[in-house]
Chains A and B, each alone.
Chain A
Amino acid sequence: MPRFQARVLVRLRPSVLDPAGEAARGAAERLGVEGLSKLRIGKAVEMEIEASDEAEARRRLELLSDRLLANPVIEDWSLELEQS
């Protein structure tokens, strides 16, 4: 059975305020890092999955991302997938 490496990036939707990101941006300024106009914090979920082919792996991971890893009300997600 082929194995795949997958990474799902979950981001807050652009319209949703990210107070943790804003706090980190404030700390970046205090560190002396200048010019940082945007800092938003998301999640990276790394997975390995066995599936008959890439399309099947993608189908399962898309279901997982949409139903569990991200909440579509407030978050977007993207999937990176490659055979290991």
Chain B
Amino acid sequence: MSIGVIVFPGSNCDRDVQWATEGCLGMSTRRVWHEETDLSGFDAIVLPGGFSYGDYLRCGAIARFAPALQSLIDFAAEGGRVLGICNGFQVLTELGLLPGALTRNRDLHFICEDAPLKVVSQRTAWMQGYNNGALTLPIAHGEGRYQCSDDTLKQLQDDDAIALSYGNNPNGSVSDIAGITNASGSVLGLMPHPERACDPATGGTDGRRMLEALLG
């Protein structure tokens, strides 16, 4: 069982993810350059945070065309678990694996702080470990305001696909949304950084159960 972390030019949380999944949680992890196309050896794929392709044009717009992501579409279609964190969430929306889009924060600030979060749905493996319904994860983004049409929001609610919401909505997201899944629950995208909350030495372990679900 192993995890692949896709590395784009401009990714900067790929090593943090590997430290969390392998260093803290003991799960075999390999970083995968975005030009690779064979994802067959992996049980789960993580798209890490950062600024893929410099966030040129729009966040995630160019990463979407990377060879590894054409393989990721098939990987996800076969039910493989996919986790997109921050820039990875933006890439998943551009790729069409998750609905909606991430836009400039309401108040234009790059926000770097611990965010109080609420578990909206415990339906998926990602969220089943959070029995008290609340957790705290770091956020660090300038473009994390989740946007979608009213129809898409209703679809997310009908599918029970809103995984996480902000307690304080720091960026102006629709319906306080911090993270969503696809209808089947195999793909999770979120703006907060679970990989930065796995090592007790660097503040909190609330991200652990979410990452354990990659192979859980």
B103 an interface residue at 8 Å Cβ cutoff?
yes
Which chain A residues lie closer than 8 Å to B93 at the CB level? Answer: 73
Interface residues on A, range: 10 to 19
Which chain B residues lie closer than 8 Å to A9 at the CB level? Answer: none
A39 an interface residue at 8 Å Cβ cutoff?
no
Interface 9-residue window, one of B38-46, B105-113, B183-191, B206-214: B105-113
Say yes or no: A73 contacts B61, CB within 8 Å. Answer: no
A28 an interface residue at 8 Å Cβ cutoff?
no
Q: Mark A21-58, 1 if CB is under 8 A from B, else 0.
A: 00100000000000000000000000000000000000
Given known pairs A68-B61, A73-B93, the reply for A17 and B101 (CB within 8 Å) is no
- Name the interface residues of B94-124: CB closer than 8 Å to any CB of A: 94, 99-101, 103-108
Say yes or no: A19 contacts B106, CB within 8 Å. Answer: yes
Given known pairs A73-B93, A73-B100, A73-B101, the reply for A68 and B106 (CB within 8 Å) is no
The 3 closest A-B pairs by CB, nearest first: A73-B101, A74-B101, A19-B108
CB distance from A23 to the nearest CB of B (A): 6
- Name the interface residues of B35-61: CB closer than 8 Å to any CB of A: 57-58, 61
Q: Mark B133-161, 1 if CB is under 8 A from A, else 0.
A: 00000000000010111000000000000
Q: How far is the CA of A17 from the CA of B106 in the complex (A)?
A: 8
Q: How far is the CA of A74 from the CA of B90 in the complex (A)?
A: 13
CB distance from B100 to the nearest CB of A (A): 6
Which chain B residues lie closer than 8 Å to A74 at the CB level? Answer: 101, 103, 147
